[in-house]
């Protein structure tokens, strides 16, 4: 007879435990052998890849993703480049948006930057093997575009161009300037403070709204380093106004340094009131200074164009060494000046009727996908401290205001503006080639 013993009763602590899903998360060493992450480490470096892996593992531990999806999540989190700067679609209606880096470079300029990323002949004569003038081809390109200039020099931004001129020509001397041109150039920096930091003294003439050539003449004397003419490129004074021209100032017998600010090298019919470098040099300016990343449509830099002896004096001043630009800037500048139309020039000269037709077409495609979208007329501006008061007729996609944040934080980020309770995506500064990218971004933000 088979004997059965008394069954043992299970104790409270003996209940079967469910396996911990966190134990199924692959280890870092295993994940880093994934071919996609191996390629990521080659392209971005191991540190960024390990960070992406650690973040994906933490998401799995928190129950946000399955353990089997950790590798995919790490791959998806890898940045496009090893830098944190992200490309943004500028749909603000501000062509030169300072917070977005002002002028977007042309395809030609971007190609030139990539080519210049390695070793280049930036300061070498390959024919002789000896040293050459730094950035000679970029300087030659500027002189080809502005034949009124006898010489050119490039520094790292527009403010630096004025600092170099003030230091080399007026340290310990006076700079004669109209009170109406004592501007603030942005981010709290003011022109008077900038100039006085060089050791020059400012001799103010005239009033905020009216300054005559006679007032400049009365102020010029043995202590005058130069007369400074500043185009008020980020504000506009209207009404009872008067100012002296560059030609009138050039007749005073002292050098005239003229800051056009916006970087327009030659007249543009779209901006008839905006001064240009060629025009002010013809009028007698010894040196014209300008920014490269505004209406010129190039990289951030400061341009100095003018008389041979004066520009050479600036270029040989010790401060010029501290303000010089690198090979990438020189490459982008030359390609901008010599290459095809820049995105800034294209955006500035867009046909408003074509923009309205484009907005209507895009809005119709979004509505077909269930997105609340409409095509509306819009007004764009130049921005970036250029052409104040100029309104550029444009067209925009009008979307629910609640989509603005999702668009900004999407991939790619899309920056629009809020107006009358709607999120407007102005198309003037958005290249036509980016339409499909823009549509995908809007659909993703709307959950479609």
Q: What is the pLDDT of residues 383-436, one digit of tens each?
A: 876 777 789 999 999 999 999 999 999 989 999 999 999 999 999 999 999 999
Q: Is pTM beyond 0.85 here? A: yes
Strands 201-205 and 174-178: parallel
DSSP string, 193-240: HHHHTTT-EEEEES-SSB--HHHHHHH-STTEEEEEEE--TT----SS
Q: What tens digit of pLDDT does each residue of 325-363 get? A: 999 999 999 999 999 999 999 999 999 999 999 999 999
- The pLDDT value recorded for residue 261 is 79
CA dist 241 and 272 (Å) reads 19
pLDDT band at 1 (very low <50, low <70, confident <90, very high): very low
Question: What six digits make up the tokens of 107?
Answer: 């395809």
Mean pLDDT estimate for the chain? 91
Model pLDDT, residue 240: 63
> How does pLDDT run across 358-374, given as a tens digit for each residue?
999 999 999 999 999 99
Check pLDDT > 70 for residue 15: no
Residue 23 — very low, low, confident or very high, per pLDDT cuts 50/70/90? confident
Average pLDDT over residues 159-172: 95
pLDDT of residue 448: 86
Token pair listed for 121: 């002949």
Q: Is the pLDDT of residue 189 over 70?
A: yes
CA distance 27 to 201: 67
Q: What are phi and psi of 121, to 5 degrees?
A: -90, 45
- Identify the three-state secondary structure at position 346: helix
What value, to the nearest 5°, has the Cα angle with vertex 380 and ends 378 and 382? 175
Q: Of 368, 382, 383, 376, which Cα lies nearest the Cα of 426?
A: 376
Those residues with Cβ within 8 angstroms of residue 315's Cβ, 6 or more apart along the chain or in another chain: 151, 153, 304
The pLDDT value given to residue 24: 86
**Are residues 274 and 386 in contact, defined by beta-carbon separation less than 8 angstroms?**
yes
| Segment 190-249, tens digit of pLDDT | 888 889 999 999 999 988 788 899 999 999 999 999 999 998 755 666 666 678 899 999
What separation in angstroms does the CA of 378 have from each of 94, 99, 405, 445?
11, 21, 21, 22
Instruction: Give the distance from CA 39 to its chain's centroid.
Output: 31
Instruction: Please determine, for residue 320, whether its predicted confidence score (pLDDT) is greater than 60.
Output: yes
Residue 109: pLDDT over 60: yes
For the chain, first and last CA: distance in Å?
73
Cα–Cα dist 104/95, whole Å? 9
Percent over 90 (pLDDT), the chain: 81
């Amino acid at each position: 007879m088979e004997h059965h013993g008394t069954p043992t009763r299970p104790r409270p602590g003996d209940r079967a435990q469910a396996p911990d899903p966190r134990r199924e998360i692959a280890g870092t060493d295993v994940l880093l052998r994934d071919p996609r992450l191996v390629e990521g480490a080659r392209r971005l470096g191991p540190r960024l890849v390990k960070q992406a892996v650690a973040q994906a593992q933490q998401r799995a531990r928190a129950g946000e993703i399955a353990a089997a999806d950790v590798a995919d999540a790490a791959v998806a989190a890898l940045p496009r480049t090893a830098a944190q700067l992200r490309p943004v679609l500028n749909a603000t209606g501000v062509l030169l948006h300072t917070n977005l880096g002002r002028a977007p470079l042309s395809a030609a300029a971007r190609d030139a930057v990539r080519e210049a990323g390695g070793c280049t002949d930036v300061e070498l004569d390959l024919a002789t093997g000896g040293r050459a003038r730094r950035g000679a081809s970029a300087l030659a390109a500027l002189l080809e575009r502005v034949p009124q200039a006898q010489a050119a020099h490039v520094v790292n931004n527009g403010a630096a161009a004025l600092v170099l001129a003030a230091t080399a020509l007026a340290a310990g001397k006076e700079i004669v300037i109209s009170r109406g041109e004592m501007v603030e150039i942005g981010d709290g920096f003011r022109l008077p403070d900038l100039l006085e930091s060089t050791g020059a003294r400012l001799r103010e003439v005239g009033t905020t709204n009216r300054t005559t050539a006679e007032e400049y003449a009365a102020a010029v004397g043995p202590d005058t380093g130069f007369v400074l003419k500043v185009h008020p490129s980020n504000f506009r004074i209207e009404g009872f106004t008067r100012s002296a021209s560059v030609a009138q100032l050039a007749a005073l017998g002292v050098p005239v340094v003229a800051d056009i600010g916006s970087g327009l090298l030659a007249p543009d019919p779209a901006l008839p009131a905006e001064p240009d470098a060629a025009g002010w040099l013809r009028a007698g300016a010894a040196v014209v200074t300008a920014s490269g990343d505004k209406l010129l449509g190039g990289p951030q830099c400061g341009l100095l164009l003018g008389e041979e002896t004066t520009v050479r004096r600036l270029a040989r001043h010790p401060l010029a060494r501290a303000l010089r630009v690198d090979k990438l800037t020189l490459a982008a500048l030359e390609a901008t000046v010599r290459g095809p139309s820049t995105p800034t020039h294209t955006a500035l000269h867009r046909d408003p009727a074509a923009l309205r037709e484009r907005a209507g077409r895009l809005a119709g495609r979004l509505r077909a996908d269930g997105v609340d979208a409409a095509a509306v007329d819009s007004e764009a501006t130049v921005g970036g401290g250029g052409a104040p008061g100029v309104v550029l007729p444009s067209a925009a996609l009008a979307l629910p205001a609640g989509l603005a944040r999702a668009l900004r934080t999407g991939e790619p980020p899309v920056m629009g503006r809020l107006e009358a309770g709607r999120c407007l995506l102005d198309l003037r500064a958005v290249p036509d080639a980016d339409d499909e990218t823009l549509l995908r971004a809007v659909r993703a933000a709307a959950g479609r």
